[in-house]
A and B are shown apart, each in its own frame.
Chain A
Amino acid sequence: MKAGMKLTLKVWRQKGPRASGEIVTYEVSGVSPDASFLEMLDLLNEHLLLKGEEPVAFDSDCREGICGMCSLIINGQAHGPAGGTATCQLHMRHFEDGETIWIEPFRARAFPVVKDLVVDRSAFDRIIAAGGYVSVPTGAAPPANAILVPKDDAERAMDAAACIGCGACVAACKNASAMLFVSAKVSHLGLLPQGRPERRRRVLAMVEAMDGEGFGNCTNESECEAACPKEISVENIARLNREHLSASFR
């Protein structure tokens, strides 16, 4: 194994939602190239704690790329330089010994900073609440095999449903657009028979909520697809536009 790496970190520190933030420089050493990026931050926090300073706040939970909790801009890229992975799946072997790494929160008007690297992504939940569901009553379970789904549709729906709601698409977009997120949801439900009865109402309500939250529009740069840890395709945005257009004219 390589000896521990020495790194210079430029980290965004912000005490609270209304405080003004700044980049603070830290040095860390003894970082194993096999460590994950978040473990490197854990190491930094241990040092800070020993010195009696407040640790850097950042979000993480499952640490294996499923929960969508982690959210960092690393050297200007959402979830860092590796493709198809979330921040928690990024390893230090992607960096050079002696390198300077810039670490910032996801930035978008609709994702206000809570503290340091933690942002409030509840705007996504409000978009879902506006229409990202199937509204049949809670109660009696349906009879067996009442809903048959062709295998192809199920698989395309599954590709769209791979979204983990991390918000990297928004952070990567120069317009801070949430179109990839919304389109993944609209595609997932629109491709399934149980989601079809409400497709018109769904797309109109979700797009309205998305605009209301202050997300920008899509200008087809595809940065979102490149940043997406689940590699969700911008084809879904085309499907969203088509659904929205046809719903608007009806």
Chain B
Amino acid sequence: MASHEMHEHDVVVVGAGGAGLRAAIEASATGARVAIISKTLLGKAHTVMAEGGIAAALANVDGRDDWRVHFADTMRGGQYVNNWRMAEIHAKESPDRVRELEAWGAVFDRTPDGRILQRQFGGHRYPRLAHVGDRTGLELIRTLQDRGVHQGMDVFMEHTVLAVLKDGDRAVGVFGYDRERGSFHVFRAGAVVLATGGIGRAYKITSNSWDCTGDGHSLGYHAGAELADMEFIQFHPTGMVWPPSVCGILVTEGVRGEGGVLRNREGRRFMFDSIPQAYRAQTADTEEEGWRYTQGDKNARRPPELLTRDHVARCIVREIKEGRGSPHGGVFLDISWIRERLPNGEEHIRRKLPSMYHQFKALADIEITREPMEVGPTTHYIMGGIRVDAETQMSAVPGLFACGECAAGINGANRLGGNSLSDLIVFGKRAGEHAAKFAREHSAGKVDDAQVAEAARWALEPFEHGGEGENPYQVQTALQDLMQDRVGIVRTEEDMLQALEGIEALRKRAERARVAGNRQYNPAWHTALDLRSLLTVAEAIARSALERKESRGAQFREDHAGKDPAWGKLTVLVRKGPGGEVEIRRAPIPEMPPDLKQIIEEMQ
């Protein structure tokens, strides 16, 4: 058997973004011995890229806000297929989690009287996003990181986890390797928390970090947990489309929140052309009313640019497909026009959107205070993930927990902006708390040497394949192209059947991936090992999207346009069958209790 180093902990957390750090902090505060494992460096996780803010009904800016409104907004955004209990917990607990961050030293933008300022965001009825300019994620991760490193936990940076180890049904640790040296490690633990984030790198155009390869989704799946809602992938409506090297990079919704408008090449504000019935009552009738809303007028309704992301993304695709797009295949997003309304408009834009200002200046040589940006949809977030219990965040595998983007439930068919950072801290805390509790209540499990040997053998395979093997980068690129073309914003049965065929062929190529050189910091080896995660999530996405024969939220089926009420009561679940095949099933969503139903009716 390949040699490996052994580590012993009560709780091992895989992933050091917002959810992982928050889980580790909570577990360690209860006295548990905690290891946190990061594929990259501490503090460099994809969470840092979140710009908009943290959704929490603090009611600092508008006293009418409370958890009930936040809950109703989240359910409406998710088209009512959310795990309603998670949506309820999230709305109730996120204000406490934000105040906790503040106490730990996080900076926030302030109201004139010194309270945490909250901004408008798509789908939220009242100004609700606590923010730090447009780098809220950076501030969140740094606060958690600073807090975590002093509280006492073992940090393993540049370590990739390849398998969850099991003793019978229960998760008892993980197996992984250290990217710097290429050596193997076994982490034995009373409980395992997966907090690995998203899957953006399964697509060609994405706003996600280069490490978002769906590792947690895949680890959970191969360990026997169920994946839920995998068909729901959010395409952020506004990514940069030019120049090619920056294609996919996010342009925050904050631009629209501050008064930015979308126009097609004819100069028309096309978002006014198709406002969904469910949102008509809350959407501005005129451009004038929309402007007043962005400037804090409580009697005005929001402009249609701030409708849910899936809707905005599809409207943009429509404009582009019908030939009304911008020169580089997007549409125009214009914030510079607010100079007509504000005397110090340029200064205002630079202060409110500093990262956006620099991003366009540095990357595209565009002065956003003076000219419009070109934007188009980019793969941004997956609502689907490991199915967990709402209270504890434990999966179907005892001792295996999941939180953050790699867990499913709170967002349903579509996520509202700002609800992901709050998700990380609310459910990260719960996962850490309950993982520590599980570890306390159960005796340590036994690590099976055969599982370790098998994982190590698999990991080393790419070095065995000679000159005939496949280049892992080429397989990865082919998969990204395939997913982009076939399982994107607009889907059909035929496209997805072809995608599944393509994925199968790529899986065979990935099995022959070849890597030269040694195990020390070898980027080609990392890519070869990531392929299994990418292929696993790609197949789960395509199969789930094929299964749900309706259009809802982020899933848009051209061959099944429109919502089907029967599907509104069902969740699509994927798990690994006994023979290693993909099993797919539909599970009924539990009935919502009357008090929550009533809230939703009142907030219609």
Interface residues of chain A, those whose CB is within 8 Å of chain B, are 15-16, 32, 34-36, 39, 45-46, 49-50, 52-55, 57, 59-69, 82, 84-85, 89, 91, 114-116, 118, 121-122, 125, 128-129, 131-139, 141-151, 154, 157-158, 161-162, 164-165, 188-189, 192, 194-195
A32 and B244: CB pair below 8 A? yes
16 A-B residue contacts at CB 8 Å?
A: A35-B244, A54-B524, A69-B40, A84-B358, A84-B362, A89-B362, A114-B180, A121-B41, A129-B149, A134-B104, A136-B103, A137-B29, A141-B97, A141-B103, A144-B95, A144-B99
B44 and A125: CB pair below 8 A? no
Chain B residues closer than 8 Å to A116, beta-carbon distance: 521
B114 and A148: CB pair below 8 A? yes
B592 CB-CB contact with A under 8 Å: no
Stretch with Cβ within 8 A of A (4 or more), from B81-89, B137-145, B533-541, B556-564? B137-145
B146 and A128: CB pair below 8 A? yes
Among A121, A129, A144, point to the contact of B150 (Cβ < 8 A).
A129
B396 CB-CB contact with A under 8 Å: no
Among A32, A50, A89, A188, point to the contact of B471 (Cβ < 8 A).
A50
B110 CB-CB contact with A under 8 Å: yes
Distance in angstroms between the alpha carbons of A128 and B41 in the assembled complex: 14
A116 to B: closest C-beta gap in Å: 7
B180 and A63: CB pair below 8 A? no
B521 and A118: CB pair below 8 A? yes
With A141-B99, A161-B142 already in contact, 20 other A-B pairs whose C-beta atoms are closer than 8 Å: A35-B244, A39-B245, A57-B521, A64-B359, A66-B49, A66-B135, A67-B48, A69-B40, A91-B363, A121-B41, A125-B43, A125-B149, A128-B145, A128-B149, A134-B104, A134-B105, A136-B104, A149-B108, A151-B112, A188-B105
Main SS of the interface on chain A? loop
A20 to B: closest C-beta gap in Å: 15
Distance in angstroms between the alpha carbons of A34 and B245 in the assembled complex: 6
B49 and A142: CB pair below 8 A? no
A34 and B243: CB pair below 8 A? yes
Counted as pairs of residues, one from A and one from B, with CB atoms less than 8 Å apart, the total is 196
B473 and A49: CB pair below 8 A? yes
B25 CB-CB contact with A under 8 Å: yes
Query: Which residues, 123 to 152 on B, are CB-close (under 8 Å) to A?
Result: 132-133, 135, 137-139, 142, 145-147, 149-151
B520 and A69: CB pair below 8 A? no
B471 and A49: CB pair below 8 A? yes
Chain B residues closer than 8 Å to A133, beta-carbon distance: 104-105, 146-147, 149-150
B473 and A66: CB pair below 8 A? no
A151 to B: closest C-beta gap in Å: 5
A91 and B245: CB pair below 8 A? yes
Distance in angstroms between the alpha carbons of A142 and B105 in the assembled complex: 13
Distance in angstroms between the alpha carbons of A85 and B521 in the assembled complex: 26
B109 CB-CB contact with A under 8 Å: yes
Chain B residues closer than 8 Å to A35, beta-carbon distance: 244-245
Q: Which residue of B lies closest to A151 (CB)?
A: B110
B44 and A62: CB pair below 8 A? yes
